[in-house]
Amino acid sequence: MSSTTDVPVARSVAAYAAAVRAELADLGPEQVEELTDGLEANLTDALADDLRPHGADLVEEFGEPAAYAAELRAAAGVDAVPRRGGAKARFGALRAAVRQDLAGVRRRPWWPAVAETSAALRPLMWVVRGWVVFQVTGWALGPAVVTPGWWPTTGLGAVMVLLCVGASVQVGRGRWLSGRRAAPLVAMLTVVTLVVSYPVAGYVNRYQERLAAADVGTTVVTVRSDPEPMDGVVVDGMPVSNLFVYDSDGFPLEDVQIYDDRGRPVRTVFDTETLWSRPDLAEAWRFSGATDVEGRERWNVYPLTGWPSDELVPDLLGEAPPEWAPRTPPFPFEKAPSIVPATGAAGPDGTADADAQADGGAQVAP
């Protein structure tokens, strides 16, 4: 080195050596002196070696002082003395360890190519981050506001995705949230985006597949002219979602099992995800089956219990039931008409005579 650069280099070497000794401050003075004996001379000789490449400064040349101090500890077999302190001290130690690891990675020969590629892909990451924020926001608001999918199908959704992506790009360019205090928040948001991007993409893909299947279904042409039999219970051409049973005195009954004339359980609901509405109720209901003593699900136990739609919990696949148990929906009316017993002479088996029943039969009390 020329004499014109001896003074600046000596100052830089002294400052770097002081920083290394500061990283060893947890050790005793004698240990620090032993580990750093001749440190300035070694640094100066390394800088004067024309056979090795040199960096722009000592940190680029030798790495972070913390990393250099760690190498000195490792060479001497000296472990760091744990410092007393609270969460702040532990967080500082964690940051120092991360910086040390990053400094070691940056010295790898392949690091410049990785850094260059990452810088080129950074704008794409900004767009992905904004898209994920839009998907999570749309999921929180519900499909009534924002239709999920790779690209929104409503005007409001298009505005929201443009706002989310635009905000993410502005943050990435350093126009927004560019202060030192905001840097950890931006970094955390980016990491969370990378973590949730895969499940979000899977949810969107499943939604698109269901949407495509529905579109294909609309092109099917019905050839048969005879109406196909319909499962469930139908009254006046309308499917019935629930059955409400009353006793002979007109009082409502619960947990009643209903079978048809062939002993088959009578079931009204077959799609457990469908919401069923009634004119007298403000909220639609989702129903749940009962469970017998053998643990099997029974859907012929009436009235069916469930939850109103405003109690359902949104999730990535739609809506899930809440944690609490299902309850019985309101009966159509509190009390049904009472039934008058059949009248007439008793038959041979002690029952009412069939002819008498034919004449009078069971009557409903007014």
211-267 residue pLDDT tens: 555 544 444 444 454 444 557 788 888 888 899 999 999 999 999 999 999 999 999
Pair of tokens at residue 265 = 């359980």
Q: Sign (positive/negative) of CA torsion 154, 157, 161, 163?
A: positive
Single-letter residue type at 140: A
pLDDT for position 317:
62
CA dihedral 101, 105, 108, 110 (to 10 degrees): 170
Give the Cα separation of 118 and 125 in Å (integer): 9
Specify burial of residue 146 (Cβ count, 10 A radius: 0-12, 13-18, 19+): buried
pLDDT for position 323:
83
With a cut of 60, say whether residue 186 has pLDDT above it: yes
Indicate the SS3 state at residue 63. Answer: coil
Q: Are 68 and 107 a contacting pair, CB within 8 Å?
A: no
48-97 residue pLDDT tens: 765 445 554 677 777 888 888 888 888 777 765 555 555 666 666 676 77
Highest mean pLDDT among 105-109, 238-242, 326-330: 326-330
Q: What mean pLDDT comes out for the span 37-47?
A: 82
Global pTM value = 0.35
* Residue position matching structure tokens 């009248």: 343
Cis peptide before 303 (omega within 30 of 0): yes
- Rounded to an integer, what is the distance from CA 343 to the centroid of its chain? 66
What are the residues facing 306 on neighbouring strands? Answer: 287, 327
Output the DSSP codes for 74-122: HHHT-PPPPPP--HHHHHHHHHHHHHHHHHHHHTSTTHHHHHHHHHHHH
- Rounded to an integer, what is the distance from CA 32 to the centroid of its chain? 50
Q: Radius of gyration over alpha carbons of the chain, in Å?
A: 38
